[in-house]
Homo-oligomer: A and B are copies of this chain.
Amino acid sequence: MSNPHTLCPKFEAAFELLGKRWTGLIIQVLLSGPKRFKDLSDIIPGMSDRMLSERFKELEAAGIIIRHVYPETPVRIEYELTEKGKGLEFAMKEVQEWAEKWAGHDECPPQEA
């Protein structure tokens, strides 16, 4: 396509994925390193375990996170961003900066606990 305005449909797919509730926050937390399920649910108190489990499955299916199972006793399971997932750092930062700059503070309440 020679039209300079043509955007890959993957562009919208990316925004769709990242626009889901909690997804941005999960990726943000995992940018600081691999985490266990409980780490995530402790850090994000407003999110139910069922929701976290669902998001993990979606992000795994999208190739954004990988699940590591360490055969210890008890078994240890960690979730880590893939290279594709880590590649989102700058995109997330730019959207966040835009949102912070343009959303009034009064529109930005603390997250529910």
Contacts and interface: CB of A to CB of B under 8 A. Distances in A.
Interface of A: 1, 3, 5-25, 28-29, 43-44, 63, 84, 87-88, 90-91, 93-103, 107-111
Chain A contact residues, majority secondary structure? helix
A107 to B, nearest CB: 6
Copies in the assembly, this chain: 2
A97 B24 CA distance: 18
Contacts of A13: 99, 103
B6 A12 contact: no
A28 to B, nearest CB: 6
A21 B3 CA distance: 18
A94 B94 contact: yes
B88 A10 contact: no
A20 B43 CA distance: 29
A66 to B, nearest CB: 14
